[in-house]
Amino acid sequence: MLKLENVQSGYGNILAVKGISLVVNQGEIITLIGANGAGKSTTLLTISGIVRCRSGKILLNNEEMHKMDTDTIVKKGVCQVPEGRHIFPQLTVKENLDMGAFLRNDTNQIKKDLDYVFSLFPILEERKHQYGGTLSGGEQQMLAMSRALMAKPDLLLLDEPSMGLAPLIIKQIFEIIKKINKESNTTIFLVEQNANQALQIADRGYVLENGKITISGSADSLLENQGVQKAYLGL
Ligand code: ATP
C-alpha cells in the first residue's frame, strides 16, 4: 500500500530523515519506534506531504505520493493524527468531528461513522457539546483519532498517541487502535516512543536511529531483539 524508497527530508540545512526505505501492506499495523529526535515525526510529516521529500520516492498504491499536495493525499485516503493532537479547542467535540468529514458528502455514511466513533469512545458522545479545549489530554487524543476516522481513511498515520497520558488511558488507546485496524480494515502506521505497547499491537516494526532505519522485522522478533530490549524496552 505504502512504500518509501530511500527517502530524505528535513528542515533548512538539517537532514532529519536520511534515506529510509520501508513498506506498509494493506491491513497491517506497522510501528516506527525510536528515541527523541530520531526523525519519527519528520517521517510521518514527509509521508503526509507537510514536509517535502527531498529525494527518493513515496508510493501509495504505486502512485507517486511525494509529488502530490497535502489535500490530494487526504483525498487519496491518508490521514494523520499529529503529535500534540491539534484539535480545534474553540469548537465543540461534535464540530471537531464534523471538520474531519469536511471533504465528504455521503451524508448517510457520515452519520454511521459518527455512531461508530461514539461506540469506540462513548465519553465523546457524552461530551459532544463540550469545547475541545476543555477536554482532558486523553479525551483530546480520542477526539483527534476520531476526527481522523471521520475522514474515513484507508491509511491512518498516528504520531505518538500515548504521549503525556496516564498508563490506564494509554492501554485503552492502544486497544482501540487495534480495534480500528480489525473492525474498519484501516491500515495503521504508528510512530511511538512507547516501544513496548506499540510492538504489542503491531504486526511489524522499524527502529529509527538518527534518521536511519537500523532494525526491522516482525513485532515479536523486535520484542525479543536484545538491542531493542536494551535501548527501547528498558530490559
Ligand atoms: P520526538 O519523539 O521527540 O518527537 P522524533 O523522532 O519525532 O522525536 P523529529 O521531531 O522528526 O524526531 O526530529 C528529527 C530532527 O529534526 C531533530 O533533530 C529535530 O531537532 C529536527 N527538527 C524537527 N522539526 C524541526 C523544525 N521544524 N525545524 C528544524 N528542525 C526540526
Q: In this predicted model, what pLDDT tens digit does every residue of 116-158 receive, in sequence order?
A: 999 999 999 999 999 999 999 999 999 999 999 999 999 999 9
Q: Which of 101, 123, 152 is the last residue of a domain?
A: 152
Q: In this predicted model, what pLDDT tens digit does every residue of 62-78 receive, in sequence order?
A: 999 999 999 899 999 99
Q: Whose CA is nearest to atom 23 of ligand 1?
A: 42
Average pLDDT, the chain: 93
Question: Are 27 and 137 in the same domain?
Answer: no
Question: Are 158 and 58 in the same domain?
Answer: yes
Number of domains in the chain: 2
> Residue 173 corresponds to which cell in the numbers above?
488507546
CB 95 within 8 A of CB 136: no
**Does residue 205 register a pLDDT over 80?**
yes
Question: Are 202 and 142 in the same domain?
Answer: no
153 Cβ below 6 A of ligand 1: no
What is the domain extent for residue 197? Answer: 1-77+154-235
Q: Residues 39-58: what's their mean pLDDT?
A: 96
Could you tell which of 7, 42, 206 is best to mutate to test the pocket of ligand 1, judged by most ligand atoms within 8 Å of the CB?
A: 42
Which residue in this structure is represented by grid cell 527517502? 7
CA of 21 to the centre of ligand 1 (A): 19
